[in-house]
Amino acid sequence: MSGIVPYIVRFANPEYSREIRIEASFFVVQLFSSSKTAVRLFISAGGVISLAKFLDLNMEVNKDINFMAIDCLNLLIQCKLIFHADLLSMLMKLGIPERIVVVIDSLVHEGEESTSYVFLLKAMDIMIAFAFGPPIIQEKLCESDILPLLFEASKYFNVQCLFGLCTFLHGMARNPSVLNHLENVGIIPLCSMLIKIGLGFKGESSKVLFCLTLGTLIRSSPTLAYLLYTLSFTL
| pLDDT for 112 | 78
**99 near 55, Cβ under 8 Å?**
yes
Of 3-7, 32-36, 116-120, give the lowest mean pLDDT range: 3-7
User: What single-letter amino acid sits at 204?
Assistant: E
Confidence label for 220 from pLDDT (cuts 50, 70 and 90): very low
| pLDDT for 211 | 59
**179 near 219, Cβ under 8 Å?**
no
| pLDDT for 117 | 93
Confidence label for 179 from pLDDT (cuts 50, 70 and 90): confident
d(CA 227, CA 56): 45
| pLDDT for 57 | 73
| pLDDT for 47 | 86
Stretch 135-141: mean pLDDT? 93
- The per-residue pLDDT of the chain, averaged, comes to 81
Confidence label for 212 from pLDDT (cuts 50, 70 and 90): low
For residues 224 and 84, the model is more confident at 84
Global pTM reads 0.82
d(CA 211, CA 198): 19
74-131 tens-digit pLDDT? 999 988 777 888 999 999 999 999 999 999 999 998 877 788 899 999 999 999 999 9
User: Would the pLDDT of 73 be above 90?
Assistant: yes
Q: Where are the alpha helices (DSSP H) in 94-201?
A: 96-107, 117-131, 135-141, 146-153, 159-173, 179-184, 187-197
| pLDDT for 32 | 86
